[in-house]
Amino acid sequence: MNQEIREIVIGAATVALLIGGLVGMNARHQIASVGTDEGLIIYAKFNKVDGLVEGTEVRLGGIRIGHVSAMSLDDQFSAVVAFNIEKSVPLPTDTSAAIHTDGLFGAKFVVLEPGAEEAFLRSGGELNFTQDAVVVSDLLDLIISEGHVARRQGAKPSQ
């Protein structure tokens, strides 16, 4: 009987630790987004935003400078993404945005590359240069099909 009670206690402690970890991660995410609500709102249009969610980091030079605050579709079915950017970071009007993945199967994030214009974006401005998210399964399909083509070309009899 003591063995069963010990196993139940260990199982309950494990479940409690897992729940505590999940609550802690959620609280960390909410705390990290506090204080950035007074930034600039910048918009960008993408064809694909697979894996991007509200709260996703926006980075410049590898440093977090904001987050994705909203996403919607426009009348031409393009994804319109709103970024909340720190006011202390001046972005030239020709800044570009790209959706990157942290590792092969990691989380998505947005990378901003400042341009060379002397004028800066204001709140409500739009980024005109964007690069869509790369879908890993599409990339793997492309690599596999290229391999099949190369194998077929290598198997052709020479004349």
Note the pLDDT tens digit of each residue in 116-150: 999 999 999 999 999 888 777 777 788 898 888 88
Percent of residues, the chain, with pLDDT higher than 70: 87
DSSP label at residue 53: -
pLDDT at 34: 47
| Cα 10 from chain centre | 37
Q: Are strands 96-101 and 57-60 parallel, antiparallel or unpaired?
A: unpaired
Closest to 108 (Cα-Cα) out of 79, 86, 128:
79
Edge-first strand listing for the sheet containing 129-131: 126-127, 40-46, 79-85, 63-73, 57-60, 108-113, 96-101, 129-131
pLDDT at 20: 83
Q: By three-state DSSP, how is residue 68 classified?
A: strand
